[in-house]
Structure 1
Amino acid sequence: MTHQFTVEGMTCGHCEAAVTRAIKQLDAAAQVSIDRAQKSVRVESGQPREALAAAIREEGYEVLA
């Protein structure tokens, strides 16, 4: 299942890595694509959307949508 998130606060490669790592800890098989300029995080995962959003929030980023 594909989930699209708008994430506020990603400013560098380290931020992208932190978001990716948080998602992969929840689902090691997840495919993560990040477009920092668009504040976009696209995730291919069987995990529930809210669980993925919670993992991103736990890293300190705001999930807007």
Structure 2
Amino acid sequence: MGGTQTLWDNIFGYEELKNKARILAGIPDNILIIGESGVGKRLFAEAIHNQSARKDGPFITIEIPSKKYRCF
């Protein structure tokens, strides 16, 4: 994907969430994004990274597969 603007443009709707994400891009802390599969977590994370002071560093994702537990 292209630069920051392209990433934000690829996120349709969610204007309030995008505004909060832009604010988060300005803080030096790490961010944990959680949610169901396929909701756009990686797209948000990459857009935040590319707008942050760390944009010239590597973008690293850690995927933790969900486990479904059954109670007996």
TM-score, reference length from structure 2: 0.32
Looking at secondary structure, tell me which structure has more strand per residue: 1
Query: TM-score under structure 1 normalisation?
Result: 0.35
Higher helix share goes to which structure?
1
**Structure of higher CA gyration radius:** 2
